[in-house]
Structure 1
């Protein structure tokens, strides 16, 4: 590394040498050059100081200084080499007490000749070296670094627990690790051993990496981070060598945290899959197993790994003594989403109409990364519209963008297609309004987004931890609302392909009800296919665990569920045909309806609530003390006059 840094300064050093040489040359050329005639004339008028004489075969080189009018000037002169001139020079240069130095002319010629011979070879060597370095000739030096660990170390992690929201239980699980890294003696005195490894499992974007960094930040210890894919290379033994080097560096900086992201890339089950596994990856995994709990004692090193595929990990990696704890980081609930929005809204300029609690209720199923993206998209939209604050409309549009993509307002429907999409989305909305267990309608639009011609934003009325059979059936019925509405209005032969995504979702739900959850007449038996893929580390010899007869029964049960939901959906839409037409026509006209507007259409038949009237602002003047009644004026006459004046004013 030091050699590389020195080479980077080589062009600068070369340029500096050239500049210094030019300066020396320019400074040396400031002396006065005299021929023999000029030197003779000068010798009569000036006073010579110290001089040097170089006697060559035909000429005499004279260098020195002379003084005229208190001014000293350097000079050079060339004089023919004769005995007479040598005597004259000695007499002239020493007449005023000047010192004369005689130099050997051959002394400089030796060095000059040597440099003249060496410079071409030096130039060729430098050019050759630079060419080889450009062509990769220095790659042999990198061979010794190829087996080094790619883990990046952070000594001062700024992330703290206050920056991680929506996972309070997960924080509690890792607090012991922080205490151990700060004061390990408390645990050793009690005979306790801190977990050597913590495996964080959860969907993408739930904050597994952020939580691991917060542990290092709270404990104020070095944080080594590496991805599972950084271990394995095409060269045999590289991965195992990098694992050894990583733990060696961690041992030097103990206590510390080693974070391995996407550990399933290197920790998949050994000896499974097509071809019996991967030898290089398995060697890397074996070395990782040894380092975590083998012949070496890595005191003070806590390994934290993250994955969203724990089903493919090798059992030896998950056993106690290696990954002692498995922490599941789930998607946040409504309370967690509000806290996450509060964390990401710290540096955002929010308008007064923004309510983070309402925003959290409108984003079920969103991960922490999705919520951060919603606020960021809202900020971008506010800047694009040249606003000073992020409004609720910006965040509403941001939610739509994150879920479905940007609106394609330039895409124009034909009148027939626009009416078909309107009835399709109105069918979903009517089911959401009239079916008690269906999701609540939040927003309906026929503006295309992504691959969808329109969409319904429907949210659960309440977040359930365990969905029921009734809720699944209501969800299937809601997904059928668009297709059934098309059949009722336009006929069986005029249905469109716009319900393909709805059909895909409801089919998956119906199959899971029968094969996974046991919600059919086949009973509480699981008929699901083996979870996993042979190319992801699973055994390819496993097949379906039911017969062909059972498969036929499963298909019948799935069909019965969908048919019964479709029948119920048709009944609801036919009973509420007027509401279906009203919502469809309003969508055709306004293109987007909010939940309040849809409720107004259902209750009052109009977009706006007719019972809500604008109340004029009444300005009440503060009471003032009235002047006293003049003498001789009757109070009754005064009251009658005031009442009469009030009547005229009201009229």
Structure 2
């Protein structure tokens, strides 16, 4: 960005500020002028104390009056003590002779004639002031379109040009397929005649579908940056207001602006806020949101062609969009923007690492392999956290150690070093996490053990972290049953060591995960022989919950009982597997828990050496802190997608 580009917005804001100040000074000056004219005229006409004409004659006779000025029927003067007075003559013809007889000095001057224009100014100036103030207020209200009282129907779309930071496909990594899908739009914007010669029509709209943080908005900006055309951006929620017709008016105004800047791109973020199914709720299909959607449909593909305007929208809820919005002629293409695979994560990390000084020991491939399920936003946050950790340590380069610490912080939460547990609580947490880790090492189908720690992180007192060897896009029944057993490893380990009467609330998150997984296996994935390959659960993302409730009520009581029985069976199978593994390897459980109490954090390889009774090969045993009771209420930490972290939540209401 050049210096000229940087100064232009500042100069524009300075000029606007100067104009506003000039308007204010003009209003204040006109007000002072009015006051001075009015007050001066009244002062001239009201000089001196008014007295009756008879009292004036009496003062002339007794010699009190020294000097008078006669202007028509108005008489002003001074009495002996220099006190000013004024009075009006009723047309007395003998006044001059009377003044001469008593030796009063007098003079005459012509009667002042008030100008007609001055009278008009006196009358009109208050109204002019009111109009000027009203104009200034309305100008301020309408300065930002859509933000003032008179701008409800104005579009809130913001125009982004190269001055605001140009983004190209070089800044977008890890989503090569989506880039290829949108490359045709870029070619059209660069050379429209190339397609017109063969009679081809470019798609009018492209819908970007993907999870939050996958780079949908960045991809849309890259299209505009590559094509070098204006880029309008607006959110779907900016269309809908409580006033009827405002959303439709904003849609019309947005397309009018786009036509003036064609060819251009209009990007609507979170279009599901305005593009949901019509007639799905209350209002008989005539509410404000549906009127806005109808206007959007007409503008995209109606009687009037909008050539050169390409609509790019983004959503993570394509299932709730109205079918008319997705038909050919409107959003012709649905471009899926998925979470990146390992190669994509490596490219994304390389893009973000260009902005920070990286040490030579940093292995981008290793970081990408250890972050399955991360989106582009997650990876950007990871790099930023690593840079902050290095800056906190006053380092000049960001090393691999900072990236590993940042990955642990992002996936498992920040270390709560100020939270010191008692020895008994620390021991219980160690056996709980050792139980999870031991089950994952002995049950076939579990993801490899990556790390286990009893240091409080985030909202958990301890975390066992399993990572898949490669990117996973589906799970088999064997893997899900292994994960069910893994969920119960912690509680069963505590039960074997402390007895059934010593169970605590630390396994609430494990129980929740196991129950949800078993119910999904039965009701969604068809993994129950007794229930067959049928789906018994409706879409949980329905717009209106009442629809799902109505469908679920159609399930018979016999089917509901059978589902509960199958869910219980799967859960009990996982519990039995975990109990068998831990009972058969009780010595390994003790060894692993002892190593956790000694080192607090172990990697997967260190955990394997610990259960074999081998030396871990580390000499960084933490110092034992002074016991202090844990207070407060904490919520179990939820597992990240693609992670596999099982945490021990803090005691509820301790």
Partner of residue 510, structure 1: 518
Listed as ranges, the matches of 1:302-451 within 5 Å are 302-451=310-459
CA shift digits 1:310-329 (9 cap, x unpaired): 11111111112111111111
Say yes or no: does 1:464 pair with 2:464. no
Q: Which residue, out of 591, 607, 630, partners 1:582?
A: 591
Higher alpha-carbon deviation: 125-134 or 572-581: 125-134
Partner of residue 154, structure 2: 148
Return the alpha-carbon distance in structure 1 between the equivalents of residues 314 and 547 of structure 2: 20
Return the alpha-carbon distance in structure 1 between the equivalents of residues 487 and 272 of structure 2: 35
Partner of residue 579, structure 2: 570
Q: CA offset at residue 177 of structure 1?
A: 0.8
* CA distance 1:513–1:159, shift in 2 (3 Å): same
Q: CA offset at residue 604 of structure 1?
A: 4.8
Partner of residue 202, structure 2: 194
Higher alpha-carbon deviation: 399-408 or 369-378: 399-408
Partner of residue 6, structure 2: none
Q: CA offset at residue 486 of structure 1?
A: 1.2
* CA distance 1:540–1:556, shift in 2 (3 Å): closer
Q: CA offset at residue 401 of structure 1?
A: 2.4
Contact 2:588 2:612 in 1 (8 A): no
Q: CA offset at residue 397 of structure 1?
A: 2.2
Contact 1:196 1:323 in 2 (8 A): yes
Partner of residue 39, structure 2: none
Partner of residue 207, structure 1: 215
Return the alpha-carbon distance in structure 2 between the equivalents of residues 122 and 275 of structure 1: 52
Say yes or no: does 1:9 pair with 2:22. yes
Partner SS state of residue 576, structure 2: helix
Structure showing greater relative contact order (alpha-carbon pairs closer than 8 Å, 6 or more residues apart) = 2
Contact 1:312 1:537 in 2 (8 A): no
CA shift digits 1:596-639 (9 cap, x unpaired): 322322345221189xxxxxxxxxxxxxxxxxxxxxxxxxxxxx
CA shift digits 1:553-608 (9 cap, x unpaired): 11111111111111111111122222211111111122111233223223452211
Q: Which residue, out of 519, 527, 532, partners 2:541?
A: 532
Say yes or no: does 1:602 pair with 2:608. no
Return the alpha-carbon distance in structure 2 between the equivalents of residues 319 and 595 of structure 1: 51
TM-score scaled by length of structure 2: 0.73
Partner of residue 60, structure 1: none
Q: CA offset at residue 150 of structure 1?
A: 0.7
Contact 2:591 2:613 in 1 (8 A): no
Higher alpha-carbon deviation: 279-288 or 429-438: 429-438
Return the alpha-carbon distance in structure 2 between the equivalents of residues 538 and 291 of structure 1: 31
* CA distance 1:330–1:428, shift in 2 (3 Å): same
Partner of residue 36, structure 2: none
Return the alpha-carbon distance in structure 2 between the equivalents of residues 128 and 163 of structure 1: 52
Computed over aligned residues only, the root mean square deviation of the Cα atoms, in angstroms, reads 3.3
CA shift digits 1:103-145 (9 cap, x unpaired): xxx9xx99999999979996997699669967x8975894543
CA shift digits 1:326-352 (9 cap, x unpaired): 111111111111111111111111222
Return the alpha-carbon distance in structure 1 between the equivalents of residues 549 and 426 of structure 2: 49
Partner SS state of residue 258, structure 1: strand
Contact 2:413 2:457 in 1 (8 A): yes
Partner SS state of residue 453, structure 1: strand
Q: CA offset at residue 533 of structure 1?
A: 3.3
Gaps of 5+ in 2: 1-12, 31-68, 70-108, 620-654
Gaps of 5+ in 1: 18-56, 58-105, 611-651
Aligned length: 522
Q: Which residue, out of 233, 252, 259, partners 1:244?
A: 252
Partner SS state of residue 411, structure 1: coil
CA shift digits 1:78-100 (9 cap, x unpaired): xxxxxxxxxxxxxxxxxxxxxxx
Contact 1:269 1:538 in 2 (8 A): no
Partner SS state of residue 297, structure 2: helix
Indicate the structure (1 or 2) with the bigger Cα radius of gyration: 1
CA shift digits 1:129-180 (9 cap, x unpaired): 669967x897589454321111111232611111111111111111111111
* CA distance 1:211–1:500, shift in 2 (3 Å): same
Contact 1:312 1:538 in 2 (8 A): no
